[in-house]
């Protein structure tokens, strides 16, 4: 016999407001003075006739440890008077139709390595964190909106593999990955989903164990070690998170007790046909408690710094509806999720991957918004890549694609993503997308990355682009690290490091990222030459940058640009330097303004504009 959860906890769970549901449900070691008295199992199975916990410890006998039904709404529990830490288990559920199904624990903290599918009793307590200084710095820092944010997106399976094709562990990645990120100047890493999932090819986006870090790379404590060491090197850790849909494998959440439990009741609402998954039923309080608890569990147990919420566009509208109809339960859920997160963790990052034109995604809930603090700018990504893939001679006819984003740049807090989705399934790598010969491809990759850095918005780059991965993302094997032995790729790697160092050192590129005062066009209409000139501003006049981007292979030895102030200007960055693989058109000396009326200004500087290059100028102190 085990004490039932309190009536208040049960009420909150069913209402959708038990935000620590993982402390009640799942398997827990009940201890007294470090001695384990029993192992408690609690599960929600509202349609079940009976539930038992089975595992090696009872020879998988469903009659050995039946759970007691605690209320009429489907909460079952048992206390097994043994220390079962490390034991594998499942729930044996008899359905209303008389079938018996074996299910992994929805709240399990650890799971077997695929292809095995059982849950494992695991105590997440006991890891000693050493990132106190990092967390103190985060609390003291200015809001993220005024700071640089450069995210390195990666897939742990395929970032790097050992010679035999096996994966690096979380602890080994601490030694391999963290110095690499630190050396290149990224402020954060964003990891594709780490929730346990049965199929490698889903990249983690079709999960089963929402509370289980995947066993592919080690234990939950091993993941804590990795995150802890990221923090010690001042690197934030973001995770992709999928609250919209889940995998339909037999051991998972799908038809958990023989009937729709975590998913919608009707076929049309339930089935996510495009991905072969099931949509979470966000109308159910128990499902909202599950998901919001899950978000807080990752934050509080693993001390992550942000969640990128996947496929928000697919959540906002009912599945399979024609015409598209808004799902009001999603709106309610997202608002409740973000409110719960920011009430407890105001410095946290909640980022929406949303390709719709839904308004106020990054407006606080109390002001009528969905409550995220960032949204991926999918429109910018689509327009920029469409433009870059065109012949340089054709670009003048599509000049607006590079300027349109500034029409709406301040409608949300945007992240500019060049993500995994753009370099897979036949889309080619960023380098391979670029038209022209070998040299021109590398020059235009440098220009693309430069344009992302100087455009308003925070930055995200998928792994491999930093050194010019030529093949598209091959998620079954590691990146082509051997390419760095070749001159052009090695120089691209140097360029990326210098570009990020430049970004981190220039307040004009991040301080007013989300304020219209931080950007001003010099000439947005030079379609004939495919040259864009503009100004980025910080809070101080002396931080001002004048930027020129040339999207053709033509060199301009003398090009006049109107500037906002008189005096000497110095070139502070040039993507065309020889050490980056460029042709070497850059300025070694300062240039003085001329009293020339151009671009609606009475001062101008004469500069050299390199082919497929970006050059940046700053007032000389």
Distance CA 347, CA 246 (A): 28
Model confidence at 529: pLDDT above 80: yes
Percentage above 90 pLDDT, the chain: 93
- Residue 71: C-alpha distances to residues 4, 90, 432 (Å): 9, 21, 60
Strands 591-592 and 35-44: unpaired
- Closest to 337 measured CA to CA, from 301, 304, 312: 312
Model confidence at 70: pLDDT above 80: yes
Mean of pLDDT values over 555-584: 95
pLDDT of residue 585: 76
φ and ψ of 397, to 5 deg: -85, -5
Helices (H) and strands (E) in the chain, counts: 14, 30
Distance CA 466, CA 22 (A): 39
Q: DSSP code of 252?
A: S
What are 381-390's pLDDT values in tens digits?
999 999 999 9
Report DSSP letters for 539-607, one per residue: SSGGG-EEEEEE-SS--EEEEEEE-SS-SEEEEEEETT-GGGTS-----SS-EE-B---BTTBS-EEEE
Distance CA 103, CA 47 (A): 14
Model confidence at 1: pLDDT above 50: no
pLDDT of residue 621: 78
Model confidence at 34: pLDDT above 80: no
pLDDT of residue 4: 59
Residues forming a β-bridge with 245: 279
Q: Kindly indicate the confidence band of residue 277, based on its pLDDT and cuts at 50, 70 and 90.
A: very high
- Closest to 609 measured CA to CA, from 534, 555, 529: 555
Model confidence at 195: pLDDT above 60: yes
Mean of pLDDT values over 43-58: 97
What CATH architecture applies to the domain 7-120?
Sandwich (2.60)
Residue 183 is a catalytic residue: no
Model confidence at 2: pLDDT above 50: no
Residues forming a β-bridge with 377: none
Spatial CB neighbours of 497, under 8 Å, sequence gap ≥ 6 = 183, 184, 185
Distance CA 113, CA 421 (A): 26
Q: Tell me the Cα Rg of the chain.
A: 27
CATH code for the part of the protein at 148-250+280-506: 3.20.20.80
- Residue 102: C-alpha distances to residues 55, 197, 254 (Å): 11, 17, 12
Catalytic residue among 353, 354, 472, 571: 353
What are 590-620's pLDDT values in tens digits?
899 999 999 999 999 999 999 999 999 999 9
pLDDT of residue 589: 79
pLDDT of residue 134: 96
Mean of pLDDT values over 373-398: 97
**Same CATH topology for 7-120 and 148-250+280-506?**
no
What are 459-489's pLDDT values in tens digits?
999 999 999 999 999 999 999 999 999 999 9
The beta-strand segments (E) located in 243-346 are: 245-246, 271-272, 277-279, 306-309
Percentage above 70 pLDDT, the chain: 99
Model confidence at 201: pLDDT above 90: yes
Distance CA 147, CA 510 (A): 6
pLDDT of residue 3: 52
Distance CA 171, CA 127 (A): 14
Mean of pLDDT values over 14-33: 94
At the topology level, CATH places domain 516-619 in Immunoglobulin-like (2.60.40)
Residue 73 is a catalytic residue: no
Catalytic residue among 310, 336, 412, 571: 310
**What are the structural domain ranges in the chain?**
7-120, 148-250+280-506, 516-619
Model confidence at 259: pLDDT above 80: yes
First to last CA, the chain: 77
Mean pLDDT of the chain: 96
């Amino acid at each position: 016999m085990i004490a039932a959860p309190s009536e208040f906890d049960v009420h909150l769970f069913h209402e959708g407001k038990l935000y620590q549901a993982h402390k009640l449900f799942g398997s827990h070691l009940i201890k007294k003075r470090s001695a384990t008295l029993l192992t408690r199992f609690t599960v929600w199975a509202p349609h079940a006739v009976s539930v038992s916990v089975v595992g090696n410890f009872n020879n998988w006998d469903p009659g050995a440890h039946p759970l007691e039904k605690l209320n009429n709404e489907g909460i079952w529990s048992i206390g097994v008077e043994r220390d079962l830490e490390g034991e594998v288990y499942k729930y044996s559920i008899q359905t209303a139709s008389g079938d018996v199904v074996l299910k992994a624990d929805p709240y399990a903290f650890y799971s077997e390595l695929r292809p095995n599918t059982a849950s494992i009793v695991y105590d997440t307590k006991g890891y000693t964190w050493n990132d106190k200084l990092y967390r103190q710095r985060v609390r003291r820092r200015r809001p993220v909106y005024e700071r640089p944010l450069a995210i390195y997106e990666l897939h742990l399976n395929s970032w790097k593999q050992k010679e035999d094709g096996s994966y690096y562990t979380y602890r080994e990645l601490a030694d391999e990955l963290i110095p690499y990120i630190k050396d290149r100047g990224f402020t954060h890493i964003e990891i594709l989903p780490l929730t346990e999932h049965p199929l490698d090819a889903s990249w983690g986006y079709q999960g089963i164990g929402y509370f289980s870090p995947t066993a592919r790379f080690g234990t939950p404590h091993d993941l804590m070690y990795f995150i802890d060491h990221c923090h010690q090197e001042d690197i934030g850790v973001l995770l992709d998170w999928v609250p919209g849909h889940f995998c339909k494998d037999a051991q998972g959440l799908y038809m958990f007790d023989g009937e729709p439990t975590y998913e919608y009741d009707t076929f049309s609402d339930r089935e996510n046909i495009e991905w072969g998954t099931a949509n979470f039923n966000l109308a159910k309080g128990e499902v909202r408690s599950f998901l919001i608890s899950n978000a807080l569990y990752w934050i509080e147990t693993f001390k992550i710094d942000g969640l990128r919420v996947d496929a928000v566009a697919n959540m906002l509208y009912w599945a399979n509806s024609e015409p598209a109809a808004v799902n009001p339960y999603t709106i309610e859920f997202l608002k409740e999720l973000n409110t719960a997160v920011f009430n407890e963790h105001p410095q946290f990052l909640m980022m929406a991957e949303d390709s719709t034109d839904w308004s106020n995604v990054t407006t606080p809930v109390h002001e009528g918004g969905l409550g995220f603090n960032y949204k991926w700018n999918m429109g910018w990504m689509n327009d920029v890549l469409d433009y870059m893939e065109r012949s340089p001679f054709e670009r003048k006819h599509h000049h607006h694609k590079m300027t349109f984003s500034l029409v709406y740049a301040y409608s949300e807090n945007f992240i500019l993503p060049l993500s995994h989705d753009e370099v897979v399934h036949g889309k080619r790598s960023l380098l391979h997308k670029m038209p022209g010969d070998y040299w021109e491809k590398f020059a235009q990759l440098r220009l693309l990355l430069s344009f992302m850095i100087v455009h308003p918005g925070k930055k995200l780059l998928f792994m491999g682009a930093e050194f010019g991965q030529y093949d598209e993302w091959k998620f079954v094997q590691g990146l082509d690290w051997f390419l760095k032995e070749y001159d052009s790729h090695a120089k691209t790697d140097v360029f990326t490091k210098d570009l990020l160092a430049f970004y981190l050192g220039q307040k004009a590129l991040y301080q007013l990222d989300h304020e219209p005062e931080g950007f001003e066009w010099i000439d947005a209409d030079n379609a004939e030459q495919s040259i864009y000139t503009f100004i980025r501003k910080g809070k101080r006049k002396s931080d001002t940058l004048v930027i020129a981007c040339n999207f053709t292979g033509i060199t301009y030895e003398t090009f006049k640009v109107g500037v906002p102030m008189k005096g000497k200007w110095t070139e502070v960055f040039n993507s065309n330097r020889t050490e980056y693989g460029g042709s070497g058109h850059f300025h070694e000396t300062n240039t003085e303004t001329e009293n020339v009326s151009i671009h609606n200004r009475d001062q101008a500087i004469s500069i050299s504009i390199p082919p497929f290059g970006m050059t940046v100028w700053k007032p000389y102190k």
